[in-house]
Structure 1
C-alpha cells in the first residue's frame, strides 16, 4: 500500500481490489481509523470489456454504449450496500472501514485501454487516436470508450449526501477531488475530468449511499466545446463581476461566490465560482479549499431548506479540459434541480428535449431571493 500526505492533513492510501481496480482511501485529519486496511479477498469475475462509443454524424457527439451497466444494483438495503465497508455477509466494493474511499467503477462507461494498465481488463479493440481523430466526422465511426469512471464514497454511512457531511469530512472529499483530478488528468488519452454528485430518485440515483462520481473522458465534452467557442481569458471574470453586482447572489465568502445565473434554465440553478482563476480542483489554493468546505455545505443545506423534504439535484463540477482552454475556462459548480414546487418537477419535453430551446417558469431573481431566505434559515456549518 502506497501512503501519501495531502493538504489539510489528509492521508491517501493507494491499494487495489481483487480484480486489479484501483482503490484509494482518504483519511480525515486526526482519523481514528487504524493504519492497516483489509485485503480484498473476493473471487471476482474478470473485468468486462471496455465499452464502445459511436459517433452521431449529425452533431459529431460520441455516444457510449455500456451495456453491462444494465445489471447494476438498484436501491439496495443497508445489508447489501455495495459502497459500505465489507462485512462477512456483505462482500461490498470497499474492504475496510473508511472516511472517504475512491475506486474504479466495476462496470464503467469509460474503461482502460490495455490489460496491463488496470488489472486484467481486456485490451481495447479500436482506441481513439487523439482529439483530431475524435473531432473528425463520418458515418459509421466507432471507437473503444477509453477513459476512467470512479466512485467517490463520501462516508461509510448507508444514507446521506454531501450536504450531510461534517466540515472536516467535506474538506477531505475536496482534497480527494483535487488529488484524483491531477492523477486522472495525467493518464494517457484523458481530455477532461468531471466530478459530480447525483442526489435523489427523481434524478435517477440507484444507490442511497452518500457518494459521487468522477468521469474522465477521451474527448472534450459537447457542453465544454461550445463554451470554448465563446470563451476568452477574461470572460469568467466579467461574468462574476456582473453577477456580484446583481440581486442574484445567494452566498459569498472571501474566495467564492454562489449565484443564480442571469439566464438560469432550471427552476433551481446555482453556480458557485472561485474569485480567482483556477482551471480545476488541483489549481485551488489551500485557503480556497478550506473556505469551500463550509460554504458548499451551507449552500446545500439551504437548498434542502427550501422544502420539507430533500431536494433532488445534480451537482456538476465543471473543469477546464486537460490540454486546451485552461487559461479561459474557470472551474465552477453548476447545481441544478428539476423541482419547481414542493410537489412538482420540471420535465424536459418537446422544445427543451428535442430542440434545446428552453422555457423557464421562474425568474432567476425570484429563485435567488427564495434561496437566500432558505440559506439564512439554517446555521452556517
Structure 2
C-alpha cells in the first residue's frame, strides 16, 4: 500500500509498507522521494491481547504479555528509531526523515478481526474481551540526541499536523472510542527508547480519566449551561499568577489544583473538541508556545526534566460539546536529585498531595531566562 496525501501547510504524507506488513507514514515538507525498502526479514506480529474488567472500579485492563520482550534502552548505535544506515536496519528504512508515524511493533492494543464489540459490564461475570485498538509510534526527528525543545518551529508544525492527521484517520475506525497522543521523556517515568518520539494510543473504550472528566463536564453543563474547561481557562486569565506563557492563539498555565511538582496545561484560546478542530492560525501559532514551555521546564533546574506530555481531547463519539482540547505536561521532578514518588496516597488511594503550591512552580517557570 503506497499512497500520498496532501495536508495543511504544504505537508505531504507518504505511506509505505514495512517488511512485516505494518504501515509507515512519512510527513515531509520538501517533496522528498520515499522509496526505500524495508530490508529486514519478516517477523510474525503478536496476536491481539486480552481485555479484562476490574469490576471493583469498572475499569478495563489490557493484558499484553508479549511486551515483556520488547527492546529496552539500547545504545545509540542500535537505536531502532534512528534512520537506516549501513548495516543498521531500523524501523525507518529511509536514511533521513522529518516526522514519521508507524504501527507499533509490540502494541498493547491492535485492530480486531471480524465483528467486534466491547463486552457488557456485569461485574465479576463480565466476558473476557480482546484488546482492540491501535498503537502507533511517532518520531519527531532523525537526530538521536535531541529533544522536543530542540525542534525547529517548522518541525513542530509538521509534528502537529501528523497528530491531527492521525486523529482524523483513526476516528474513522468503528472500534475506536478515544485517541490519545502522548510523549514520555526520561528513564524516571519508564522510557525504554531515548530517541525523541511519542506514541498514539487509540482505545476501544473511554479511559478512566476521560470518563471522570466527561462526568464532571456533563454535570457542570447541566447545572450551569456552561462548558467547564472554558470556565477554568477564564479563571486562569483572571487570576494571572499561574500563567507562564501566552500568545494570541494559545495559553499555558499551571492548573489551580496541580497534582505534580511541575504541571503545565497548554490550551487554544479558540476552544475545540479535538486536534482536528484547530484552525490554520491555531496550528501556526502552536510551535512558539510549545517550544517556550519545554525550554522553561528544562530551565527550572538546568537539567533535562522527565515528563509526560499528553493531549487530552474529546472522545470520538461522545462529549464533543463539553470536553476541550488541551496539552498536559507533567513532571515528577521536584528538585535536583529529588522526585515526587506516587506512593501510598497517590497510587493506592488515587488521592494526590502536592509538596509545593502551584503558584510557586508557576513563578519558577516564569523566571527561567530563555
Scaled to the shorter chain, the TM-score interval is: over 0.9
Shift in Å at residue 89 of structure 1? Answer: 1.6
Higher mean C-alpha deviation, range 159-168 or range 344-353: 159-168
- For 1:35-46, what aligned pairs fall within 5 Å after superposition? 35-46=33-44
Q: Structure 1 residue 34: deviation in Å?
A: 3.5
* Deviations 1:165-208 (CA, angstroms, capped at 9, x unpaired): 11111100000000000001111200000000001111111111
Taking a change above 3 Å as real, the CA distance of residues 134 and 165 of structure 1, as seen in their structure-2 partners, is: farther
> Which whole-Å CA distance do the structure 1 matches of 2:300 and 2:52 have between them?
41
Q: Distance in 1 between matches of 2:233 and 2:330?
A: 18
Question: Residues 48-87 of structure 1: matches in 2 within 5 Å?
Answer: 48-87=46-85
State which drifts further: 136-145 or 178-187. Answer: 136-145
Q: What's 2:227 paired with?
A: 234
Structure 1 stretches of 4+ with a deviation exceeding 6 A read: none
Q: Per-residue CA shift, 1:196-239, capped at 9, x if unaligned?
A: 00011111111110000000000011001111111035211111
- Please give the alpha-carbon distance, in whole angstroms, between the structure 2 residues aligned to 1:193 and 1:263: 25
Q: In structure 2, the residue corresponding to 1:148 is in which secondary structure?
A: strand
Give the drift of 1:7: 0.7
The two structures, once aligned, show a CA RMSD in angstroms of 1.4
Alignment-derived partner of residue 362 in structure 2: 368
Cα contact 2:186–2:306 (8 A) shared by 1: yes
Deviation string 1:242-285 (CA, Å, 9 cap, x unpaired) is 01111111111111111111111110011111112211111100
Could you tell me how far apart the structure 2 residues matched to 1:139 and 1:261 are?
40
Partner of 2:14: 13
Alignment check: 8 A CA contact 1:128 1:134 kept? no
Query: Does the Cα contact within 8 Å between 2:120 and 2:127 map onto a contact in 1?
Result: no
TM normalised by structure 2 equals 0.94
* CA shift for structure 1 position 343: 1.3
| Residue of structure 1 equivalent to 2:147 | 161
1:9 is displaced (CA, Å) by 1.1
The change in CA–CA distance for 1:88 and 1:270 in structure 2 (over 3 A counts) is: same
Distance 1:84 1:223, change over 3 A: same
Corresponding residue pairs, total: 360
Change (3 A) 1:142 1:160: farther
Conserved 8 A contact 1:248-1:260? yes
Q: 1:34 and 2:35 equivalent? A: no
Equivalent in the alignment of 1:329: 323
Unpaired stretches in structure 1, ≥5 consecutive residues: 115-122
Question: Cα distance, 1:140 vs. partner?
Answer: 5.4
User: How much does 1:36 deviate?
Assistant: 3.6
User: What SS class does the counterpart of residue 53 from structure 1 fall into?
Assistant: strand
Q: Is the 8 A contact 1:128 1:218 kept in 2?
A: no
- Per the TM alignment, residue 142 of structure 1 is displaced from its structure 2 partner at its CA by 1.8
Instruction: Tell me which moved more, 324-333 or 74-83.
Output: 74-83
Matched with 2:103 is 104
Indicate whether 1:302 and 2:300 are aligned: no
> 1:141 offset after TM fit, Å?
3.2
Deviation at 1:136, TM superposition (A): 4.8
Mean Cα displacement is larger for which, 363-372 or 158-167? Answer: 158-167
Deviations 1:96-127 (A, max 9, x none): 1211110000110000212xxxxxxxx7xxx7
Distance 2:71 2:342 in 1: 26
CA distance in 1, matches of 2:125, 2:355: 39
SS in 1 for 2:233: helix
C-alpha distance in 1 between matches for 2:359 and 2:9:
37
- Please list the CA deviations of residues 281-339 of structure 1 after superposition, one character each: whole Å capped at 9, or x if unmatched: 11100110111111101110110001121000000111110000001100101111000
Match of residue 131 from structure 2: 145
1:172 pairs, out of 136, 158, 163, with 158
* Matches of 2:287 and 2:121, distance apart in 1: 37
Task: Evaluate the alpha carbon distance shift between residue 284 and residue 205 of structure 1 in structure 2; reply closer, same or farther with a 3 A threshold.
Answer: same
